Structure 1
């Protein structure tokens, strides 16, 4: 029976080819496939991100291309790859994701990629961080990823870039927040020097938000100008809680983390920095 079904499947594919339905192979990987998705709307943000394994049907130029629909949950091959990220990253039904449209790439780093997207249903612009599940497992950062979302769901402050939503696809995690077009570093690079009044305002708002976090037992551990966004009124929005930790009262964290360029040159960090420095000088 198996041999007969295989032959039938082969004959069906040959017949489809003769009728002009040329089936194309998997999408090209890399940035070229991503940019081909910019400005289009498909059912599921993960398809816009260029998942491999999908096949498209070539049609006449005047006929619109079909939507690429994600497989139902019951057909996913590795359920463990879903359970690992629950409950911080739930599985959303397609109706919650099919209205997202990629507008631009905001940033790309070792943590993942941040996309600027348009929610066509709510008619709002948001930022979505896309993180590969495989990289999370390979780098043993599962707890860190889940704690980032858990912490952002606990906090509510006018100077914190609050979490909008989080979910998972078959191969990626998605963290959606409101979109801010400028950060403190890019502003400083543009103007070259801040006025004293602006520095006083930035410092006051930063101290307020850090005191708020510390009262909740949360340490950010990666405060820098690139992680301080500015809203339309010029107020701060502290973002990127990827290295943050929630500690009970009296506990300490000993992991060396953060951005190397912003770290002080202390002797215990010499193996990381790659050079020695006498603390007495």
Structure 2
């Protein structure tokens, strides 16, 4: 009685089979033909450069373009253009409320998200306003920072990186331009446009970041992991103390990699031994031997007597930053040759066109937009 189990299988009606013809039928229904393979693709809904394959079902091999092999788990890959048609679009919402907030990565030393919303044409992301500017501007003004300022900034950046890495997130673009400052001179690590989350034991392979801050394993095309962020921190601290980068930037990553591999990263003899040891451990070319954890970072002699509690770190303002904030050259240095002309090519002409109340978040609904824009323009002049 069990020898002919096929009799008990539920037969799928032919009409239902025609309605669910599989991948080929699905793609055909949305305008993709399969004459001699995948020839015609409609315009992609979203750009897919640098997307990361998730843990979902693999792409059937018969749909992959010629010469394209299935991706290995845990590796980044550029998806074929036709995959973009399956990516969801952001839902359209006119207003947001308290229930729409997602503060999973809220930290005192991160540039935290305040609100985000979308209209039919634009996606808005609102972060906290850091009127003091970025660390790079003050580095240009000052040239070199003393041990006291470096110690505070290093502790705060180390806390921010440790927090991100606990969530598996690599920043991948740690640099002075991405370090914003609060009105008391304390930092906020910003710009997560290149960040990505790595599962435990996974590795990344994308060459990305700012070239003079890139770790050697990033410049070589990987594999690399969170230790690359600690190298970037080492470059940042080295530059803050010496007033220059250990290796000048090159126009391409191949030449930069050659220079980074050949550079001894010698620490000036004028440095205190504790600072020299910290930079030596951060700028170790072998990521396996590099200082790459917050706990090991805290134990450095350079931080002897320093509290890593965020409230205690922020208790005292950074006096040097507050002094430089009123420097007469600061507005010009902050613009770094940029002008308002760069905003003319933006589709959202927020500087000149009126904004309807339906385009605003409730957080901004009661703000006089014209007054806010005039204030922002005055700060940049």
TM-score range, shorter chain: 0.3 to 0.5
If each structure's helix is expressed as a fraction of its own residues, which one has the higher value?
Answer: 2
If each structure's strand is expressed as a fraction of its own residues, which one has the higher value?
Answer: 1
- Give the TM-score normalised by structure 2: 0.34
Question: Whose Rg is larger?
Answer: 2
Flag the structure with more relative contact order, 1 or 2, with Cα contacts below 8 A and sequence separation at least 6: 2
- Give the TM-score normalised by structure 1: 0.45
